């Protein structure tokens, strides 16, 4: 871990490289990432944004993945959390897009999200368009309090989070954090990412 380095503009930068695999990955990405000694700067008090490729519900233990974050939201009512997740259309599924979104929302809120305080969840609608491009949200990152950024290779799938060997990098840099958040907020403002229904 490099503490106190500066970027070319003189802004302090903290960097930690985190290698993980097997059952450590859930803890590092969305669970104990908030309590891991190496990642103490990822303890959001104001806002937290998570950009992740969400796996098929059968591949992910949502309550386990989101437990610490959900409890932190309960403890800090002012904490604003934004999740960007994929909604997947299975090959050969011709279900109307709005029905797929409703099905995903119902399942996510009833089964995957463990808390009573709810984050704002956005999704990329392109993958649901039968005639549209096949692009998906593939970014995997956590941004806390516009200060700390955790970039990781891990998707939110059981394989990535429980079995694979993954790599992540933690950087504390205000400019980088704002750049990432601004980029995704622009996609939201332009309605390229859509808000998941809350009920």
Beta-sheet strands, E only, within the chain: 2-6, 12-21, 47-51, 80-85, 120-123, 141-144, 148-152, 165-172, 194-195
Residue 118's SS3 state is coil
| The pLDDT of residue 185 | 93
Cβ atoms within 10 Å, residue 135: 9
- Its pTM stands at 0.78
In this predicted model, what pLDDT tens digit does every residue of 25-71 receive, in sequence order? 444 444 444 444 344 445 778 888 887 766 555 666 778 778 878 88
**How does strand 80-85 pair with strand 120-123?**
parallel
| The pLDDT of residue 19 | 44
Tell me which residue range forms the domain holding 191. Answer: 2-195
CA separation for the pair 39, 159 (Å, rounded): 23
| The pLDDT of residue 106 | 95
Q: Is the pLDDT of residue 186 over 50?
A: yes
Q: Which of 20-29, 45-54, 189-198 has the highest mean pLDDT?
A: 189-198
CATH number of the domain to which 172 belongs? 3.30.870.10
Lowest mean pLDDT among 10-19, 39-48, 187-196: 10-19
| The pLDDT of residue 9 | 53
Residue carrying structure tokens 């070319």:
8
Total domains in the chain come to 1
Residue 142 phi/psi, 5° resolution?
-125, 130
In this predicted model, what pLDDT tens digit does every residue of 113-162 receive, in sequence order? 999 999 999 999 988 888 866 677 788 888 888 888 888 887 766 666 66
């Amino acid at each position: 871990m490099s503490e106190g380095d500066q970027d070319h503009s003189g802004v302090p930068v903290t960097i930690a490289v985190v290698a993980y695999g097997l059952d450590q990955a859930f803890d590092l990405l969305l669970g104990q990432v908030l309590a891991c000694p190496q990642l103490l700067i990822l303890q959001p008090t104001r806002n937290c944004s998570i950009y992740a490729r969400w796996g098929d519900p059968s591949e992910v233990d949502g309550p386990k993945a989101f437990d610490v974050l959900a409890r932190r939201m309960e403890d800090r009512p002012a904490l604003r959390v934004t999740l960007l997740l994929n909604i997947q259309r299975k090959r050969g599924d011709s279900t109307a897009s709005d029905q797929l979104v409703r099905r995903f929302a119902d399942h996510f809120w009833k089964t995957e999200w463990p808390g009573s305080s709810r984050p704002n969840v956005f999704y990329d609608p392109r993958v649901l368009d039968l005639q549209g491009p096949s692009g998906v949200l593939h970014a995997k990152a956590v941004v806390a309090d516009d200060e700390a950024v955790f970039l990781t290779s891990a998707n939110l799938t059981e394989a990535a989070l429980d079995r694979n060997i993954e790599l992540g990098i933690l950087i504390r840099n205000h400019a980088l954090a704002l750049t990432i958040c601004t980029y995704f907020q622009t996609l939201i403002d332009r309605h390229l990412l859509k808000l998941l229904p809350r009920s």
